[in-house]
Every structure is written in structure tokens, then in C-alpha cells.
Copies of this chain bind each other. A is one copy, B any other.
Amino acid sequence: MGNTFGHLFRVTTWGESHGPAIGAVIDGCPPLLHLCESDIQPDLDRRAPGQSAIVTQRKESDTVRILSGVFEGQTLGTPISLFIPNEDMRSGDYREVQEKYRPSHADYTYDAKFGIRDWRGGGRTSARETAGRVAAGAIARKLLWERYGVEVVGWVSKVAQLTVESDVERVTRSEVDQTPIRCPDLQVAAQMIAAVEAARKAGNSLGGVVTLAARGCPPGWGEPVFDRLEADLAKAVLSLPASKGFEIGSGFGGTDLTGMEHNDAFFMEGDRVRTRTNRSGGVQGGISNGETIYFRVAFKPTATVMREQHTVSARHEDTTIQGRGRHDPCVLPRAVPLVEAMAALVLVDHALRYDAVRPAK
């Protein structure tokens, strides 16, 4: 269980890191959306390994193929099956993982839960699984943009202790993609890249924060009580590997303020209800208010480091393990398309829900 996401726009992903392929099935995409592989591939390329010197050097073209749900360039309203072959698998790198649990990885917990695990490349626990999400998210993003005029943009706002505050109303994807670290501030980006390279050389790793902005959402998306928009967004991004935190709008920092300081005053801008500030992060009472939705996601430093660490074996004996193989010294640049994909999936789902429960007359 747990491999399906969404209520009306439903995504199921499948696949292990070193199996023949990975993929996703999307059920609930409306018909008559223009769609072909080239709408999806660019997002996959932004997630792909080997795209720059500061990410893992595993070589995967991540070429997606649409196996169903599209006919003559348009969606049918039936399930869209996306298929991505695995190519550059070096299971030999993982022989030690077969016998030992890597610290802060999921080797132990999968064994504890299932009594079996595919140790080759981490199996299902590998971040490779996220390729299916990104592919599905690309379709969600297209639908959001074409039908609703909603734009989803994410960027790296923190690596280790290097932080940047960008304007959530203005950052563009082209600014983000100017550097391989995906931070829109070029000066800080350069420092971040240097830090990641230093960590890589030291066999160490770094964490950081992705900020995401969704602009153009109409008021009314989100459901009362349990399926609040921020609740579903939090779940979406906390389901990403290595994520440790989520905050929307003012977030944890907002707890330093008083109510008078924190409240977002309403005002009319033409015939549109606006707020002067946006500490709410575009969501009030779980429902979008028409302002930009923005949130931050914390990612821990990559668990795989090229040093010897204490651990236990699969036979439950104390031992040590030495990181090997090809890994990201910092997941942040590749996490940007993941966060975008998950945000898009949540927003599309709530857009469709909104359309379903319009007033009775």
C-alpha cells in the first residue's frame, strides 16, 4: 500500500532502482489535454542523474514512453501509463548493502517491515522512484497551466548554512536553471556550488531547503478539516526521500510574531479581494485565498557518505560500513523538480475537487 497519491487525479508509481524499469500510472487526468512525451521529458531531465558535476554520475537517460491514455496527441480520460527503463545499473556497488544496514537509510526498516528487501541500488527506497512522480507531475503542471493559469516554480533557498531570500512573486524557472544548484541568486549559487563540491571531495554531504511558489491559484481550492490544502501539500513533500520539514507562509518564523503583526489585512484591488501581506502563504482555513501559495521544504544531508561509519549487519551484529557507488553530495538541485511535481499533483487534485463540488445551483 501507499504507492498511490491523490483523490481525483491519482498517481501510482512502481519500480525498483535496479529492476528493468520504473513507471507511473495516472488515473483521472481529464480528456482532451494535448500531451506527448516531449511535454514530460524536460522535467525528467531536470531530475535526471548525471546532469551536472554536482549530482550523482549514474548515467540514466530517463527516457519516458507513454504506453496508454493518449490518442492522436490528446489524453483520452483513461489511465496514462508512463514507462522509464533503467539503464546504468551497477548492482555490484551494493554488495555490502546486502549484508549491512546503511546509517540513516531505509535498509533496516524495510527488512523490519517486509522481511525482504531489494538491496540493489536501494530497491524501492532509492530516489530513483521519484522519476515516476516527476513524470506524473509534468502532466499535472501542464494541466494547471493550460486550464487554470497556475504556475509552479521551485528553487533552492538554502544549502548548508548558505541562505537566500528571493521574492516568491517573481522567481522564474529560467532564473532557477541558470546554475546547476538551482538557486536564482547567482552570487549565492556560486557559493553553494563551491560548498557542494567541497563536500563531495571530502566524501561528505550537505542538506538544505527548497522554496516553492504556486502563482495564479483562484480562491476556493482546498477542503475543510482534514484535506486542507496545506495538509495535502505537507504530506506530498514529506513523502519525498530525505525531507524532514515543511512550513507554509510564515511557518516556524511566524511563531515569533504577535497576532497584530502576523495577520494579513484584506483590501480590495479592483474587484478582487487581496491581502496586504501574505503570511498565510496563500491558504486560509485550508482553502486558497487567491494569493501566491508558497512553502519551504527541508532536506537532510544525503545519508550516503564516503567514510567509514559504525552500523549493524543484516544478521544483527555490530560492524562498520564504507559508502561506495555514485551518489549526490547534496540532493537539493534534483529536489527542485520533485517538490514542483508533488505541489502540482496536490493542486490539480484540489482543482478537480473544486470543480466537482460547485454549488447546487
| Candidates B13, B116, B255; contact of A298 at CB < 8 Å | B255
Query: Which residues does chain B contribute within 8 Å of A283, judged by CB atoms?
Result: 109
Bound state CA distance, A312 and B272, in angstroms? 10
Q: Tell whether, in the assembled complex, residue B68 and residue A15 are in contact, meaning their CB atoms are under 8 Å apart.
A: yes
**Interface residues as binary, A294-329 with B (CB distance below 8 Å gives 1, 0 otherwise):** 001011111111010111100011100000000000
**Of A4-12, A50-58, A169-177, A180-188, which stretch is located at the interface?**
A4-12
Q: How many residues of A contact B (CB 8 A)?
A: 158
Can you sample 12 A-B contacts with CB below 8 Å? A1-B353, A8-B356, A14-B79, A20-B67, A32-B361, A33-B360, A68-B124, A103-B275, A115-B359, A225-B239, A244-B251, A267-B310
- Decide: A206 near B286, CB < 8 A? Known: A67-B23, A108-B266, A268-B318: no
Question: Does any Cβ of B come within 8 Å of A155's Cβ?
Answer: no
Query: Which residues does chain B contribute within 8 Å of A231, judged by CB atoms?
Result: 234-236, 238-239
| Candidates B124, B238, B361; contact of A146 at CB < 8 Å | B361
Query: Which residues does chain B contribute within 8 Å of A257, judged by CB atoms?
Result: 207, 300-301
**Interface residues as binary, A241-263 with B (CB distance below 8 Å gives 1, 0 otherwise):** 10111111111101111111111
Give the Cβ gap from A196 to chain B, nearest Cβ, in Å. 11
Q: How many chain copies?
A: 4
- Decide: A23 near B81, CB < 8 A? Known: A14-B69, A301-B259, A360-B75: yes
- Decide: A110 near B287, CB < 8 A? Known: A71-B16, A234-B246, A258-B301: yes
Question: Does any Cβ of B come within 8 Å of A87's Cβ?
Answer: no
Query: Which residues does chain B contribute within 8 Å of A208, judged by CB atoms?
Result: 255
Question: Does any Cβ of B come within 8 Å of A232's Cβ?
Answer: yes
Question: Does any Cβ of B come within 8 Å of A3's Cβ?
Answer: yes
Q: Tell whether, in the assembled complex, residue A28 and residue B1 are in contact, meaning their CB atoms are under 8 Å apart.
A: yes
Q: Tell whether, in the assembled complex, residue A2 and residue B228 are in contact, meaning their CB atoms are under 8 Å apart.
A: yes
Q: Tell whether, in the assembled complex, residue A3 and residue B356 are in contact, meaning their CB atoms are under 8 Å apart.
A: no
Given contacts A4-B4, A112-B273, A231-B238, 17 further A-B contacts (CB under 8 A): A3-B226, A4-B226, A13-B79, A15-B67, A20-B65, A32-B114, A32-B361, A68-B124, A103-B263, A104-B259, A112-B290, A125-B285, A146-B360, A160-B255, A207-B257, A230-B244, A356-B356
Q: Tell whether, in the assembled complex, residue A224 and residue B78 are in contact, meaning their CB atoms are under 8 Å apart.
A: yes
Q: Tell whether, in the assembled complex, residue B285 and residue A109 are in contact, meaning their CB atoms are under 8 Å apart.
A: yes
Bound state CA distance, A302 and B259, in angstroms? 6
Question: Does any Cβ of B come within 8 Å of A179's Cβ?
Answer: no
Q: Tell whether, in the assembled complex, residue B114 and residue A77 are in contact, meaning their CB atoms are under 8 Å apart.
A: yes
Question: Does any Cβ of B come within 8 Å of A293's Cβ?
Answer: no
